[in-house]
Amino acid sequence: MGIAISVLGKLGLLGVDSLSTDQVYKKYFGPKNIMKYEDFHLAFVDLCSDFNLVMPGKHFTIQATEIQKFFEKWPKASADPGTESERKALLVEFMKEQVKEYKTSSRAMMLTGVTAPPAAILIKKAGKKVPPLKMLHIDLIPNVVFVPTVTVLFLIGVRILNVTRAAP
């Protein structure tokens, strides 16, 4: 359903695109009386968390300092309905400008995926001769289990290194 709405929005039906942003704004910022930065930050984090859960494979990130700068410009809630539309427009513009797609180093993942299986085989062969590895009895684990397990662990390690390096 979301794909159909976005496609219709791209085709020039502004009401459809506006309908989806209205629903998102009402869900995360509408019923809440946000007067403090902490409340706004929690609502914004909920929005980003849900957005990352919905988007398969893609994840988005933003600097916390940018959120605080935006909150200072964001108009406070009032009874005037024009304020709500102004707040929504500012939020949409902010999301378009500041929220960036989080990209992992696909080259590092690719190199790890290619080199991990031969490295696992070498580790297993070394396990027969090197005394510290000999104590682990790696030679008792079948290759069908050992090689994919080591490969996945290496890929997880590369992912963790990328995430910790990218975090400000």
Cβ neighbours of residue 71 under 8 Å, at least 6 residues apart?
37, 40, 41
Closest CA to 156 of 102, 119, 113: 113
Quick one: pLDDT at residue 93? 83
Q: What is the structure's pLDDT at 77? A: 59
The reported pLDDT for the residue numbered 5 is 46
Q: What is the dihedral of CA 134, 137, 143, 146, to 10 degrees?
A: -100
pLDDT score recorded for residue 39: 83
Supply the pLDDT for residue 43: 83
* pLDDT digit string (tens) for the chain, length 168 residues: 444 445 444 444 344 445 467 777 778 777 667 778 888 888 888 887 777 777 666 666 777 778 888 888 877 655 566 677 787 888 878 877 877 766 666 788 889 999 999 999 999 999 888 988 888 888 899 999 999 999 999 999 988 887 776 655
| Helical H segments across 80-130, by residue range | 81-98, 106-126
CB of 67 within 8 A of CB of 44? yes
